[in-house]
A = this chain, B = another copy of it.
Amino acid sequence: MDNGVERISSNELSDRMQVTASQIRQDLNNFGGFGQQGYGYNVKFLYQAIGKILGLDKTYNVIIVGAGNLGQALANYVRFEKRGFRVIAMFDINPQLVGRKVRGIEIRHLDTLSDYLKQNDIQIATLTLPKAAAEEVALKLVEGGVKAIWNFAHTDLNLPKDVIVENVHLSESLMQLSYNITRHQKGKDEKL
């Protein structure tokens, strides 16, 4: 779409995505199918349809609990806001952070979290705090009505089943990298 392409075939998509054309057709058909035989896909329509599947046609109020470097990095990602994820408050216990603002977003004291949740409709809470505090805070969030948690704390949260948790384990990604380095090195050694 950015390149001005108006329609695209599954074969052209396949070249760009390095996934087979039949896989692309099959995946999209699972959601109803958005292409036409002989025409392919209308790019703008497909973009909107996929956005709708992903829930990007709505806006979400987001809070960030843990205003350290990682929390601040996430608060600064303007592109999340463009996709409908509006960070409206941050929380921390560090007196050097409480009261400060990041991109206009106030850092509040964690003690005020429950009251805040009573007065605001929050769809997503981001957990960027130490492992030891994560579960206790998560339970407070759930009590306050939050139904979705984006969890960067290095721990699996034990929460009611209707709470949606998306874990980000950066160390898994780093291990994937070291696995590939090791495999690559092994491949080179075997060729010698």
List residues of chain A with CB under 8 Å of any chain B CB: 53-56, 58, 60, 68-70, 72-74, 76-77, 79-80, 83-85, 123-124, 147-148, 150, 154, 162, 164, 166, 168, 170-171, 173-182, 184
User: Closest residue to A176 on the B side, CB-wise?
Assistant: B166
**Are B60 and A69 touching (Cβ within 8 A)?**
no
**Are B168 and A173 touching (Cβ within 8 A)?**
yes
Report A79 CB to chain B, min CB distance, Å. Answer: 7
**Copies per complex of this chain:** 2
6 example contacts (A-B, Cβ-Cβ < 8 A) are as follows A54-B178, A60-B178, A60-B181, A83-B175, A148-B181, A162-B184
User: Closest residue to A124 on the B side, CB-wise?
Assistant: B177
**Are A179 and B54 touching (Cβ within 8 A)?**
yes
Report A101 CB to chain B, min CB distance, Å. Answer: 14
Roughly how many angstroms separate A13 CA and B176 CA in the complex, as a whole number?
21
The residue in A80, A147, A179, A181 that gathers the most chain B C-beta atoms within 10 A of its C-beta is: A181
The residue in A171, A175, A176 that gathers the most chain B C-beta atoms within 10 A of its C-beta is: A175
